[in-house]
A and B are shown apart, each in its own frame.
Chain A
């Protein structure tokens, strides 16, 4: 069975500051890992995914995440926050045999202060 823990249901940063959203997972087999963003009353948009290639994954809108097997982590970062980054962010995991059957974390709401 898989699970995903996102530390911090709410994160607040100032515009221009570093964004760090934490995600830890558990999986009995090598996982696929994803970060999605959800704007109010919208669906989910894929930011980036890890599927066993490079451990540092670059995504859209300047976000990146690093897969650390020893720490079972897949934290999301962005060097400089922008007001438009304010949204809900979800980390998700799937087993390789399950493809797109995702297990999601509880989400982190990112607020960006001017």
Chain B
């Protein structure tokens, strides 16, 4: 059973471009969580999704950020019109229903130049 897969591992975008980060949860996991880690800081919760539903997006910036977890395919975190402050590591975690343990991917490191 492969772990949580995130791609790309590294992403460079110019200011104003769009960034699309993908997360394939572990097989059988229907819950996905996105976290952001700014340099020298801990992880901050962004959004919690189940298949085709956003359960909690209280940590998402109000503008430019969106997330989805379609019925088929990976979860996508989309950042429009990126700015330098978006440079960070973005981690995805997944869990099966009813299990209090999240399995983390290796992250996508976004650099905005």
Give residues in A with beta carbon < 8 Å to B: 4, 32, 36, 41-46, 49, 51, 90, 92, 94, 98-107
Interface of B is mostly: strand
Establish whether residues A43 and B101, one from each chain, have CB atoms under 8 Å apart when the complex forms. Answer: no
- Partner pick for B43 among A49, A90, A100, CB 8 A cutoff: A90
B107 and A103 contact, CB distance less than 8 A: no
Known: A4-B42, A105-B42. 5 other contacts (CB 8 A): A44-B104, A46-B101, A100-B48, A101-B45, A101-B48
| Chain B residue with Cβ nearest A100 | B102
Question: Which residues of B have CB within 8 Å of A104?
Answer: 35, 42-44
Q: Name B100's contact: one of A43, A49, A106 (CB within 8 Å).
A: A49
The smallest C-beta distance from A50 to any residue of chain B, in angstroms, reads 10
What residues make up the interface of B, taking CB atoms closer than 8 Å to A?
A: 4, 31, 33, 35, 41-45, 48, 56, 91, 93, 95, 100-107, 109
- CB distance B104 to A107 under 8 Å? no
Contact of A100 among B91, B93, B106 (CB under 8 A): B93
- Do the beta carbons of B106 and A42 come within 8 Å of each other? yes
Asked if A90 contacts B42 (CB within 8 A), the reply is yes
Complex Cα gap A74–B100 (Å): 17
Given contacts A90-B43, A107-B42, contact A43 B107 (CB under 8 A): yes
Task: Across the interface, name the chain A residue whose C-beta is closest to B9.
Answer: A41
With known contacts A49-B100, A51-B100, A99–B95 Cβ distance under 8 A? yes
Once bound together, how far apart are the Cα atoms of A41 and B6, in whole Å?
A: 13
Do A106 and B42 have beta carbons less than 8 Å apart? yes
Chain A residue at minimal CB-CB distance from B91: A43
Contact status B41-A43, CB under 8 Å:
no
The CA-CA distance from A23 to B30 in the complex, in Å, is: 30
